[in-house]
Chain A
Amino acid sequence: MLEVSVLKQLGAFRLDATFSAPTPGVIALFGRSGSGKSTLINLIAGLLAPDAGAVSLDGEILTDARRGIAVPAERRRIGCVFQDARLFPHLSVVSNLRYGERRRRRAPPLLAFDEVVDLLGLASLLQRRPWELSGGERQRVSLGRALLSRPRLLLLDEPLASLDVSRREEILPYLVAVRERLSVPMVLVSHQFDEVLRLATHLVLLDGGQVLAEGAVEEMSLYPQLQSIVGHDLAGAVVEGLVTRVNEAAGSAELAVGSGTLQVSLRDVQPGMRVRLQLLARDVILATQPVQGLSVRNALASTVIAISDDESGAALVRVDVGGAIVLARITQDARRALNLQPGDAVWTLVKAVSTRGHAFTLARGV
């Protein structure tokens, strides 16, 4: 368990944040820039001292302002990957990687040096200097350096934010690999929801220095304020599904989601695997009667739970598909025409391809 309850005034900015998240797991600190995510990371790492409050990890108090406890950052064994990598420019890649390892000989290793080099594909970079690396390579070295420092918590402060989209796609699989391979808990700072979706198990939503809400990613995906931060086009319920059938040739799979079966475009999965996918609210269609002759593959019997207006003026309908909650974004016209009310039985239509790119295998042990 990572328990954080801190108060910090920095100029005009005031961070007043309390949350506790299960470990192991990947905790996402999510919010707009300036919401206090990086300040929170620095407070957890011990690079910043809170004005008041406490931080504890798995029962050990790292900071407690009232009791005067402040374990120095160098003794916390909390590894950091910063947005700007922060590789030491006067050292080669291999010396950067060994920097933390050398100083933590007595701590139990997560992975051996060669394993880290393998996992992150660093073999060809070892003799290079930091300035000879691309942005993505730098972040991989930075991640490797943090892993080798034998951390018991890994802080990732927007590790992908300084990279362009294609580089991001290049690094994300490495982060997923680290999460799948190791049970070390991680805190991921991000303002990109797809990163959260692929990596995180728990989400802490920050705004203006305060925690708006926190909870499992599935649960938080329904939270109205998250929608406005993510953007209406990318908002949508995150659901968990069990792979029941795989059609390799078609590149599709059938998932049991709630009481329904969802056919989605999904590769590299096997039956029995649990996956997480996001159904974009703008791609979910509601029908009050069974429909025929449509190209949409999925029609799930469901019940309307609630209807609200989102900030853009559209209606956001929350439906229950036999235990799984799905969001549909429809126009106010459609809402009136269908005369939707909570409790109504509806058919929820989801295009098989509309979930593509948002399906991820879940972390080990989740």
Chain B
Amino acid sequence: MTGPPDSAELEALRLSLEVALRSVAFSLPLAVLAAWVLTRARFRGRLLLDALVHLPLVLPPVAVGYVLLLLLGAHAPLGAWLGRRFGIHLPFTTAGAALATAVMTFPLMVRAIRIALENVDRGLEDAARTLGAAPLDRFLSITLPLMLPGILAGAVTAFAAGLGEFGAVITFAANVPGVTRTLPLALYTAMQSPGGDALALRLAMLSFALGILGLLTAELIVRRVRRRLGG
């Protein structure tokens, strides 16, 4: 190593963490809502919504980034309106990278939460009803706490996956050093630069370590919460 860490790694790491964290914070409430609607609500078009939620799993990430650009680009109607009305500019920003990551990891999160919701014993909700709990009260006091292991597992998995999102981020938010150059983008850049092999290796190892850490954390959280619930 020469001198202080030349901060390319640190910067990429910090950005990756920030992007993944913001994407989870943004998508978690929506994922709970989507899981609830897909599991409990009966309406026309439920299958379509189901397919839409899972679409990022099967689409090329670049295509997702491109669609986001078409919708939210500076000259797209929605993007222009957001900019005029709220001063929100998503393309080429960290927030944009977080949004692209959120869309990509959304199916993972919904899946985990949905399984958790399906496993909640409806009999317990019925018992809560007879004890005087109205629907929202019931959801907050019974259903949500019982779903917690699944919600946490979904969030941590999405976070870990979000650290490494590449295609959608680079397409929608580009590769701006210090703004959208997350770990995988920095790794890709290093690989493209002459003499960047050492940096690329360090970044790759960092990504591995983070991935393992994330998955282990998810498992530990799930076990701990399950034990508290007596499962």
Contact = CB atoms under 8 A, between A and B. Distances in A.
A99 interface: yes
Interface residues of A, number: 29
A299 interface: no
B44 interface: no
Contact of B133 (A45, A74, A80, A146): A74
A45 B130 CA distance: 7
Contact of B132 (A74, A84, A90): A74
B124 A149 contact: no
A55 B148 CA distance: 38
Interface stretch (B68-76, B189-197, B204-212, B223-231): B223-231
A28 B129 CA distance: 23
B112 to A, nearest CB: 18
Contact of B123 (A73, A78, A84): A84
Interface string A53-78: 00000000000000000001111111
A74 B231 CA distance: 27
Contact of A99 (B126, B131, B134, B229): B131
Interface string B99-140: 000000000000000000000010110111111111001100
Nearest to B127: A86
Interface string B44-64: 000000000000000000000
A73 B146 contact: no
B229 A73 contact: no
Contact of A47 (B130, B142, B148): B130
Contacts of A45: 130
Contact of B131 (A89, A129, A149): A149
B152 to A, nearest CB: 14
B29 interface: no
Nearest to B129: A73
A236 interface: no
Interface residues of B, number: 23
A88 B132 contact: no
A131 interface: yes
B146 A149 contact: no
Nearest to A129: B230
A104 B146 contact: no
From A46, A73, A88, A130, residue with most partner B Cβ within 10 Å: A88
B145 interface: yes
Contacts of A88: 124, 127-128, 142
Nearest to A95: B141
Contact of A149 (B130, B134, B148): B130
A50 interface: no
From A45, A46, A73, A145, residue with most partner B Cβ within 10 Å: A73
Nearest to B132: A103
A73 B132 CA distance: 7
Interface in A5-47: 45-47
Nearest to B144: A90
A159 interface: no
B146 A99 contact: no
- CB-CB nearest 10 A-B residue pairs: A131-B230, A100-B131, A103-B132, A86-B127, A73-B129, A80-B130, A90-B145, A149-B131, A74-B129, A89-B229
Interface of A: 45-47, 72-80, 82, 84, 86, 88-90, 99-100, 103-104, 129-132, 145-146, 149
Given A47-B126, A77-B132, 10 more contacts: A45-B130, A75-B132, A84-B123, A86-B127, A89-B230, A90-B145, A99-B141, A100-B132, A146-B130, A149-B131
19 contacts: A47-B130, A73-B126, A73-B129, A74-B130, A74-B132, A79-B131, A80-B126, A80-B130, A82-B123, A86-B124, A88-B127, A90-B145, A90-B228, A99-B131, A130-B230, A131-B230, A146-B130, A146-B131, A149-B131
